[in-house]
Amino acid sequence: MSNLKGLGVALVTPFNEDLSVDFDSLTKLVEFNITNGTNYLVVLGTTAEAATLSTEEKNEVVQHIIKINNKRLPLVLGIGGNNTMEVKKQIEETDLSDFEAILSVSPYYNRPNQEGLYQHYKVLAATGKKIIIYNVPSRTGQNIEASTTVRLAKEFPNLFLIKEAAPNINQYFDILRQKPEGFNLVSGDDEFTLPVTLAGGNGVISVIGQAYPKEFSTMVQLAFEGKVKEAYEIHNKLVEITRLIFAEGNPAGIKTILAEMGILKNVVRLPLVVATDGLQEKIKAEMAKI
């Protein structure tokens, strides 16, 4: 699974003004990333507004991306939830022949303790599928502690990677220091990408990267090569816009950028709303600087 290394991007789902899925813009987005250095694509993650897509729409988005990608980049599919047995069933019943792995977010809303989180992923590991653990406490309300991640990594080889998005960068470093051989970590926080990669991480699953794939993938590659000064030049160039896109929630910010680039329309589905005029102006001003 070493091909899931470098810049992975969590693709947005473009919409038309009538809120239907905009497949033409989705084609443009996928092609833009393939031709500009993205290393792999993540389908139906949080950034895709997957929670607002019907089952039929999810299937259509998945099949469209598979078709457009045409095996050019590795694909990862988001399948997660807070009903452990339902997630397990969905993983078992989904055709994963076109996907390298599943990205499965930790259970949200229920707020299980560390043992509950361990048992949840133990059940998912029993499917035998390659699964990426996804820890994002800001969305789930519960943190997977480093000790729990390392415990899972040591016991279940098919839990081979974690997308770590805890707000405490020390947790990233604890996992990298304690993990068993063969288990890897990618940053789930765009701003932490460079220090985490330099510390031994496998790169990032990024939001901002789908708008600036050439720059972001170059930064990650420079980090792999130990070219710290050159990598930080790119980091510093993009750090302000990275912060701006999350100021009013994701993917409102990134869709503002992609709309300004002419890749898609600036449309999100409720309960999300588009970025305020003030934030959009700040984003556009920062884009002009870049």
Distance (Å) of CA 2 to CA 17, 161, 170: 40, 10, 24
Q: 3-state class of 18 per DSSP?
A: coil
Q: Which of 134, 172, 212, 282 is catalytic?
A: 134
Q: Is the dihedral of CA 34, 22, 210, 161 positive or negative?
A: negative
**Tokens found for residue 250:** 């994701």
DSSP character string of 50-86: GGGS-HHHHHHHHHHHHHHHTTSS-EEEE---S-HHH
| Cβ-contact 156, 123 below 8 angstroms | no
Q: Which of 129, 163, 255, 282 is catalytic?
A: 163
DSSP type of residue 23: H
Separation of alpha carbons 12 and 47, rounded Å: 5
Please count the helices (runs of H) and the strands (runs of E) in the chain.
12, 8
- Which candidate, 263, 163, 249, 164, places its Cα nearest to that of 210? 263
| Cβ-contact 64, 75 below 8 angstroms | no
Active site residue 163: yes
Residues ≥6 apart with Cβ < 8 Å to 72: 34
Which of 193-228 are b and which e, b meaning 16 or more Cβ less than 10 Å from the residue's Cβ? bbbbbebebbbbbbbbbbbbbbbbbbbbbbbeeeee
Which residues carry out catalysis?
Answer: 134, 163
